[in-house]
């Protein structure tokens, strides 16, 4: 009698082993997760397992993101971009800096790849009823901040429509 293995269990439900171990195809991610769990259980982890800026949180092992209780579905490059920005929160990051450190380009090409990815990331992180955390600093780059007041003090930041209308009157 043969039993089919589905989702890490046989047809009788007697085998409770993750599917990647049964198939022998252990991924780097599953190995990192297993190692992190062992370190976490022993309290020996030297690397952070997660990071946060305000209500935004990244789980570095499971590679998941959430803002408050809302999960955020990120593509791998979006995850890398958000992680890099979170490590440097409240700092203006130029396009050239992002191309070098997130995309690992050795030169700065004439491309809008940063703007495209930033737009997608912004739509996922900053939904309409939340205070925006990712901001465009006109002529400079991008900023991730949990503090809205910080962004208002930066030169080149495009403010609200009312603020722009007030400044255009003079």
Mean pLDDT, the chain, whole residue set: 77
Determine the pLDDT at residue 164.
37
8 A C-beta contact, residue 67 and residue 125:
yes
Structural domain includes residue 56: no
Determine the pLDDT at residue 10.
42
Determine the pLDDT at residue 87.
96
Determine the pLDDT at residue 2.
45
Structural domain includes residue 86: yes
Residue 108 in this model has a pLDDT that exceeds 60: yes
State residue 85 phi and psi, 5-degree precision.
-65, -40
List Cα–Cα distances, 152 to 141, 149, 155, 163, in angstroms. Answer: 15, 5, 8, 10
Residue with the larger pLDDT of the pair 42 and 20: 42
8 A C-beta contact, residue 135 and residue 143:
yes
Determine the pLDDT at residue 129.
85
Closest alpha carbon to 143 in 112, 118, 120, 163: 118
Structural domain includes residue 39: no
Determine the pLDDT at residue 6.
47
Residue 8 in this model has a pLDDT that exceeds 50: no
Structural domain includes residue 122: yes
Determine the pLDDT at residue 170.
36
Structural domain includes residue 98: yes
Residue with the larger pLDDT of the pair 39 and 160: 39
Q: What is the pLDDT of residues 58-95, one digit of tens each?
A: 999 899 999 999 999 999 999 999 999 999 999 999 99
8 A C-beta contact, residue 153 and residue 145:
no
For 82, the token pair is 């958000």
Residue with the larger pLDDT of the pair 24 and 99: 99
Structural domain includes residue 35: no
Determine the structural domain holding residue 97 and report its residue range.
Answer: 73-156
Place of tokens 């080149």: 156
Among the ranges given (84-98, 104-118, 146-160), the one the predictor scored with the smallest mean pLDDT: 146-160
CATH of the domain at 119: 1.10.10.10
CA 49/CA 72 separation, integer angstroms = 18
Question: How many domains does the chain contain in total?
Answer: 1
Residue 162 in this model has a pLDDT that exceeds 80: no
Q: What is the pLDDT of residues 36-57, one digit of tens each?
A: 676 666 655 566 789 999 999 9
Structural domain includes residue 121: yes
Structural domain includes residue 30: no
């Amino acid at each position: 009698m043969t039993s089919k293995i589905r989702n890490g269990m046989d047809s009788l439900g007697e085998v409770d082993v993750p599917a990647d171990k049964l198939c022998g195809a252990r991924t780097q991610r599953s190995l990192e997760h297993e190692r992190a769990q062992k370190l976490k259980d022993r309290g020996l982890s030297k690397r952070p397992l997660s990071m946060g800026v305000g209500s935004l949180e990244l789980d570095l092992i499971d590679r998941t993101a959430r803002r408050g209780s809302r999960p955020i579905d990120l593509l791998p490059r979006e995850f890398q971009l958000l992680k890099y920005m979170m490590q440097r929160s409240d700092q203006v990051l130029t396009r050239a800096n992002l191309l070098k450190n997130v995309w690992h380009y050795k030169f700065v090409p004439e491309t809008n790849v940063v703007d495209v990815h930033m737009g997608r990331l912004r739509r996922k992180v900053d939904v309409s009823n939340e205070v925006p955390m990712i901001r465009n600093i006109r002529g400079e780059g991008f900023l991730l901040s949990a503090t809205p007041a910080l962004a208002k003090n930066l030169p080149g930041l495009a403010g609200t429509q009312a603020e722009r209308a007030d400044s255009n009157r003079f």
